[in-house]
């Protein structure tokens, strides 16, 4: 029960890494709002594990405001925010990625963190405590070809994490990030372009431990960073990548 009494919002929690993190937080005693643009998926996770389902578009300011307002209303406050929701564009030459895809990647992966901070940080400052965890990617540390603008968006997340951490530390708010390698999530096919044994083998060859990251791997790391055990840890971009960035 390492999160007993904590109140958390996990975005993109209807599937993949977000669902794994939400499930682990619930098992460790936290109240969890399972937020996702796919309301049915959020409801499924919440009903199975006991969380609070909420429909949210993290790229829309009004939707983010409503999510945080409901979290405060239903849970009595928010101690932890996991900015997990993310998207990518299909593998392509950088000049061939459409403007619409570029805008969507940066709206969901980057602007969402700003929108949430704009609304939630004043509440955390008033409480003189809080914990924000941004889900980044090894793509922001060791970019893969043909995923240029996705790589760049995750590099932004890493820099934003450190900038947020140093500014918010005097207010008792910790900010960290996780950098997973590609995992068994709905985004995997988008990263690879096609899900074939050959493409999987090509990806796995770049990971020294020889496997993709799993929602459980991410949940374990998120649990540590969001628990009081990491009370002296802020501004860290932790690699959960099987050695990919070595």
The 3-state secondary structure of 138-201, one letter per residue: HHHCCCCCCCHHHHHHHHHHHHHHHHHHHHHHHHCEEEEEEEECCECCCCHHHHHCCCCHHHHH
- The token pair that represents 211 in the structure block: 């496997």
Among this protein's residues, is 224 annotated catalytic? no
The pairing of strands 31-36 and 7-11 is parallel
- What gap in Å lies between CA 52 and CA 31, rounded to an integer? 8
Q: Alpha-carbon distance 30 to 240, whole Å?
A: 23
Q: What distance in Å separates the CA atoms of residue 45 and residue 78, rounded to the nearest whole number? A: 20
* CA 29/CA 140 separation, integer angstroms: 32
Residue tagged active-site, from 17, 25, 150, 191: 150
Cα–Cα distances (Å) from 171 to 158, 162, 175, 182, in that order, read 20, 15, 11, 34
Write out the catalytic residue numbers.
150
């Amino acid at each position: 029960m390492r999160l007993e009494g904590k109140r958390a919002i996990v975005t993109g929690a209807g599937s993949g890494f977000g669902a794994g993190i939400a499930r682990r937080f619930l098992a460790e005693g936290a109240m969890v709002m399972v937020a996702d643009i796919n309301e049915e998926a959020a409801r499924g996770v919440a009903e199975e594990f006991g969380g609070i389902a909420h429909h949210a578009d993290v790229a829309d300011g009004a939707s983010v405001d409503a999510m945080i307002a409901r979290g405060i209303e239903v849970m009595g406050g928010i101690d932890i925010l996991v900015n997990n929701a993310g998207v990518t564009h299909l593998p392509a030459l950088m000049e061939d990625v459409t403007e619409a895809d570029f805008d969507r990647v940066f709206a969901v992966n980057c602007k969402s963190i700003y929108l949430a901070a704009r609304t939630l940080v004043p509440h955390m400052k008033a409480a003189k405590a809080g914990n924000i965890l941004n889900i980044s990617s090894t793509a922001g540390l060791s970019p893969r070809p043909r995923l240029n603008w996705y790589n760049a968006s995750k590099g932004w997340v890493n820099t934003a994490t450190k900038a947020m951490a140093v500014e918010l530390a005097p207010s008792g708010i910790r900010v960290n990030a996780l950098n997973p390698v590609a995992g068994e999530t709905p985004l995997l096919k988008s990263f690879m372009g096609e899900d074939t044994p050959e493409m999987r083998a090509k990806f796995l060859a770049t990971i020294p431990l020889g496997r993709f990251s799993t929602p459980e791997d991410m949940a374990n790391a998120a649990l540590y960073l969001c628990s009081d055990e990491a009370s002296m840890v802020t501004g860290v971009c932790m690699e959960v990548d099987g050695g990919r960035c070595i």
